[in-house]
């Protein structure tokens, strides 16, 4: 089990109901995509937030990554919707 800090933004944050948490992840969670799939098993709030899994953006240590990126060594993983700044 590895421990990781997760942070959520915008409607991902609202649907999950919290802005951050620290979770222990099973060894089967290798990539960012695995993480999303794992989170969806944790309750319906996660299911609602991550329902359209392919639109969820992932950042590891504050840099954008694809869903197939390994998360090993991540201090902070952020999940959020497509950006709408500017």
Residues that bind other proteins (CB under 8 A): 7, 9-11, 59, 62-64, 78, 80-86
Least spacing, CB of residue 10 vs other proteins, in Å: 4
| 13 closest CA partner among 81, 83, 77, 82 | 81
Least spacing, CB of residue 27 vs other proteins, in Å: 27
The residues, ordered by sequence, that sit 6+ positions from 2 with a Cβ below 8 Å of its Cβ are 24, 25, 27, 72
Least spacing, CB of residue 70 vs other proteins, in Å: 19
Residue 78, strand partner residues: 7, 59
Compare residues 29 and 78 and give the one whose CB is closer to other proteins: 78
Q: Hey, is 79 helix, strand or coil? A: strand
Compare residues 4 and 78 and give the one whose CB is closer to other proteins: 78
């Amino acid at each position: 089990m590895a421990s990781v800090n997760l942070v959520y933004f915008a409607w991902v944050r609202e649907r999950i109901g919290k802005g951050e948490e620290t979770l222990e992840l099973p060894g089967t969670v290798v990539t960012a995509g695995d993480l999303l799939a794992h989170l969806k098993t944790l309750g319906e709030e996660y299911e609602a937030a991550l329902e359209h899994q392919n639109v969820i953006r992932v950042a590891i240590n504050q840099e954008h990554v694809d869903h197939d990126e390994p998360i090993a060594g991540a201090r902070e993983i952020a999940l959020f919707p497509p950006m709408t700044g500017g």
